Amino acid sequence: MEKPNAPKELHDPIASRLGYLLRRASATMMADLGEALGAVGLRPVEGTILILVGANPGCIQSELGRALGIKRANMVPLIAGLTAQNYLEKSPVDGRSFALSLTPRGEEARARVDGIMDAHEAGFARLLADVDQQQLRAALSLIANGRE
Amino acid sequence: MEKPNAPKELHDPIASRLGYLLRRASATMMADLGEALGAVGLRPVEGTILILVGANPGCIQSELGRALGIKRANMVPLIAGLTAQNYLEKSPVDGRSFALSLTPRGEEARARVDGIMDAHEAGFARLLADVDQQQLRAALSLIANGRE
DNA sequence: TCCTAATTGATATGAGACATAGCAATGTTG
DNA sequence: CAACATTGCTATGTCTCATATCAATTAGGA
């Protein structure tokens, strides 16, 4: 007997799909990280770039893009923004490319970002106490690299 | 001894972050599904909607949105598109809402989408032969629901 | 019943992540 | 040198997601 006036919850045959779960999980973590990084006034991509430049001083824009899966064209406003805010410095190496490095202000921000990201990850790790994280990461890595 | 002219690969302290792995894994699956669904001329969201309407005939637009985490405003062009292509039918229930159902053409498409999604998931399941998928899904679910 | 509040679909709009195409300057290589 | 590749950049378009606002309709409380 179906009550015609009660169906607030839909039957959802999608909810158990791996791709859907991944998308939701990713969105949740992204939103959480975005909120946490709001304290530094940076977005997740920007924080990631600071960390990457910190670990690879002197790297150039297109290398960063390759490492992050971001196209050259889309790196331009990101780097320009971080440079304009005095987080990054450019010094020419080529006639076409610049070596990127953190300014003092950038290094300070990088350290804060690193701490925030650690706390952020730790928060979710707490949720996953009963999960083999090594295996989880391995599984995600397999999926990310797909069948090539 | 660092060779000054070899650093094509950056040291990437981000690659092991859970959030980053999730984002990459999700993007890979999304791209794969998008390609697979290209055969039906539908995008992942649209295929999902057809499946959801098929499982819940008579549901209304805002219920779909709630089930999928899509805002009302963004449901409008989606439903309009699927209706214009004769996949969906609207019949007024309220003065404000419509009961959605699949047209014959929509049901046919839904069946194809279902098959494609199964094959798509199976392809990735093959990659994860050594992984406890029950636990993987549980972990993703935990992350997706976050700390609320 | 009447007034207020909530719901629904819709519009307009903007941000952000991604893609492609093309360009000018520069480097690299046969 | 000539052909090609790389780099940063501009312009542009798509897709997803968000907010604010609106009109019509419905529901609920005084």
The string of DSSP letters for A59-88 reads: --HHHHHHHHT--HHHHHHHHHHHHHTTSE
Q: Does the C-beta of B78 come within 7 A of strand C? A: no
Q: CA-to-C1' distance for A79 and C21, Å? A: 22
pLDDT tens digits for B40-89?
999 999 999 999 999 999 999 999 999 999 999 999 999 999 999 999 99
Coil, strand or helix: which one is B101? strand
Contact A137 B10 (CB under 8 A): no
Per DSSP, the residues of B31-73 read HHHHHHHGGGT--HHHHHHHHHHHHSTT--HHHHHHHHT--HH
Among residues A78, A67, A76, which one has the least CA distance to residue A45? Answer: A78
Whole-prediction pTM = 0.87
DSSP character for A39? G
Cα three-residue angle B24-B28-B29, rounded to 5 degrees: 120
pLDDT tens digits for A38-85?
999 999 999 999 999 999 999 999 999 999 999 999 999 999 999 999
Among residues A107, A60, A98, which one has the least CA distance to residue B7? Answer: A60
Among residues A22, A30, A75, which one has the least CA distance to residue B28? Answer: A22
Contact A52 B12 (CB under 8 A): yes
Q: Which of B2, B8, B16, B29 to mutate to test the interface with A (most CBs of A within 10 A)?
A: B29
pLDDT, position B5: 38
Q: Does the C-beta of A99 come within 7 A of strand C? A: no
> CA B8, CA B89: separation in Å to the nearest integer?
54
Q: Does the C-beta of B80 come within 7 A of strand C? A: yes
